[in-house]
Chains A and B, each alone.
Chain A
Amino acid sequence: MHSQLLFTAFWTIVVKEVRRFTRIWPQTLLPPAITMTLYFIIFGNLIGSRIGEMGGFDYMEYIVPGLIMMSVITNSYGNVVSSFFGTKFQHNIEELLVAPVPNWIILSGYVIGGMARGLAVGLIVTVLSMFFTDLQIHHLGVTVGIVLLTSIVFALGGFINAVFATTFDDISIIPTFVLTPLTYLGGVFYSIELLPEFWQGVSQLNPILYMVNTFRYGILGVSDINVGFAFTMILVFIVVLAGFSLHLLNIGKGIRN
């Protein structure tokens, strides 16, 4: 297909995805806004005021980047996994399969759709956080770069989960039993310096730790990990996950007989 036609097909998928999550905003945009506001009130204000400083900052200031990143991660993943699985479940994936849309365009469209929701929720949470703390961005490039790349990683993860899922249970297993624990243990609420040396080492195996801390570095200028290493690791993740996703689409895993 001509590049203009490819762009139209890509944009059509993106618009459809954005329309989907904005149409059901009480299920997609409102819940994270309420949950994160509660986090800010309970952990940031009520408990945080007794914790004192973390990494040289107020506890509220410390957890805000982590909570924004947590929203981006869960929503980027959640959008693609539920949308693509729903498309498979209702067979309307066939609308795309009969059309001359290359697999890389299908993947890009869904990933951008996932990013759109992740970033929209991230923005909502950021705006809400401003009612509780003053946000000063230490390094804009790092902040924007890491949030975009992390969003891509988890949108791809959601896509792979949806491809393999055969029931609605399958799309909640990974978020519940893998994603949520890794996020909570990924330095959202604490610095790994508080942990014994052994658990610090274990924590460094958690990729979400790198994403949260790099984002925190972008905003606060403090981090438990090496920012350059984090970017490299995330780029490797993106290449591997995107390659695997394309392979699944090419063989028609879960979508073609």
Chain B
Amino acid sequence: MTSALKIENLRKTYGNGFEALKGISLEVEEGDFFALLGPNGAGKSTTLGIVSSLVNKSDGSVSVFGHSIDKDLARAKLSLGVVPQEFNFNPFEKVVDIVVTQAGYYGIPARRAQERAEFYLKKLGLWDKRNERARMLSGGMKRRLMIARALVHDPKVLILDEPTAGVDIELRRSMWEFLREINAAGTTIILTTHYLEEAESLCRNIAIIDHGQIIQNSSMKALLAKLNMETFILDLDGDLETVPEIEGYQVNLTDSHTLEVEVQKSQGLNAVFSQLSEQGVAVASMRNKANRLEELFVSLVDKNL
């Protein structure tokens, strides 16, 4: 497999002496859907900033599809599309002009740039807004505009820094679908997000960064396999006054019709239902208490403190 992105011993110390990256190494395979997670200030945006030439590195190396950003920056940049965290387009320009201008920066002639802009603006539901000034768009539309702009030169790697921040659930889901679609078509995607559900749902591989160091780098499957215990919430069909006893399980009654049951990975849920059934307790519905990845994330970051 070809490396879409290879980072080796990357360091960044800002002018005020803050060491944002302490020698991280990372490899993302071609075609991957990769999540870079970490708490605020962990170094995610600095890493992506260096990869996309917005931040000068202090040391280390970065290459995109084998093109070093030190020796072959133009080719590395041609392979990259970047969707930053903050809106960074000119709010007074028309939507279509923003996308066409970006295509021009990549050397795409005007007519071809117009065609590509039309394709991606239609794909992202912005074609009707093409002649509006960008400042008139809603927050979700502005995010989609930045995605259209990043894709207009057909990059092999798309970097998204918190692409769904501030986007409503419906739109977030449609954005996920779009990202899955372009990933299936061959675009390698690297994203940072605070919505761990998003990373779990979309990404095949994951790295967790904290205090400028990679503390976890594996497949999503392998990471989630580390989870030993899950908490399930059972909504009861009727009220209870006392906590029912379920042998081998830790049970809490959070209110008269809601039970929380902690289940070890090896235990399964059959015994829970059979014991509750024996006691005449009927379960109306069930759900996970928290996002599984979120539990792991918190435990990993806590360990690193």
Contacts and interface: CB of A to CB of B under 8 A. Distances in A.
B88 A94 contact: yes
Contacts of B84: 91, 94
Interface string A92-125: 1011111111100000000000000000000000
B264 interface: no
B78 A9 contact: no
Interface stretch (B104-112, B227-235, B252-260): B104-112
Interface residues of B, number: 32
Interface residues of A, number: 31
Contact of B149 (A11, A87, A90, A95): A95
What 6 A-B pairs are tightest by C-beta distance, nearest first? A5-B107, A12-B104, A99-B105, A100-B74, A91-B88, A100-B77
Contacts of B105: 9, 12-13, 95-96, 99-101
Interface in A72-91: 86-87, 90-91
A141 B149 CA distance: 44
B197 interface: no
A218 B173 CA distance: 67
A3 to B, nearest CB: 10
B247 to A, nearest CB: 58
Residue with the greatest number of chain A CB neighbours at <10 A, chosen from B14, B86, B105: B105
A109 B226 CA distance: 54
Given A9-B104, A252-B56, A257-B49, A98 B86 contact: no
Q: Which of B73, B82, B104 has the most CB of A within 10 A?
A: B104
Given A95-B102, A100-B75, A257 B56 contact: yes
Interface of A: 1-2, 4-6, 8-9, 11-13, 15-16, 19, 23, 86-87, 90-92, 94-102, 252, 256-257
Contacts of B77: 98-100
Contacts of B304: none
Contact of B107 (A2, A19, A95): A2
Contacts of A19: 97
